[in-house]
Amino acid sequence: MTVLATGDDGVTRCAWAHGTPLYERYHDEEWGRPVRDERGLFERLSLEAFQSGLSWLIILHKRPAFRQAFADFDVPTVAAFDDDDRARLMADRGIVRNQAKINATIGNAVAAMELHDRGEPLADLLWSFAPSDPRPAPSSFDEVPASTAESGAMAAALKRLGFRFVGPTTCYALMQAVGMVNDHLAGCDARTTVEQSRG
């Protein structure tokens, strides 16, 4: 199995990102880079939930429409969405029109606001589950887990707080996306850049 691929631009990437410009940009510029602001974290948590059962490439193509439909994932705004907004979202062909996921996203914004009311920002909660000791660089995708003890603990904590579509696998995908872990493979050009951005 090919684990790394070098593009025409001379960049060596994890093979999953090779060959599709949108995937390549996401891999090179976003995946694994630390995200610590609430809007950015809420967007990625929401998109990971919408991705469940679908290709991530579908979500990337629809991301601009998602941002427009969900007020750029501004938590207070989404938390205030009403039945008219739900109907609007279900009619929006630009996004994934899944009623359970739409309702979960709005409900998750409400849960995030309740966290604020208790003086605990969403970013602080999520980042509290980041592993303290980084794993060695994986040499193949077989060494990259689908979930971990930390993602399981994150999922359990979020569910207790009323969040939905936040299982251990979804939470681990979030951890990968926002730089809590670095799962770029050994030899991938982005791995060193991500390590430097994580401090």
Give the residue numbers annotated as catalytic, written as ranges.
26, 48, 56
Q: Are 28 and 20 in contact (CB under 8 A)?
A: no
Neighbour tally for 160: CB within 10 Å:
8
Q: Which long-range contacts (CB under 8 A, 24 or more apart) does 87-94 make?
A: 92/65, 94/62, 94/64, 94/65, 94/66, 94/68, 94/69
Angle at 76 between CA 70 and CA 81, to 5 degrees: 55
Calpha distance 102→83 (Å, rounded): 11
Rg (CA), the chain: 17
**What H or E segment, with its residue span, contains residue 4?**
strand 4-6
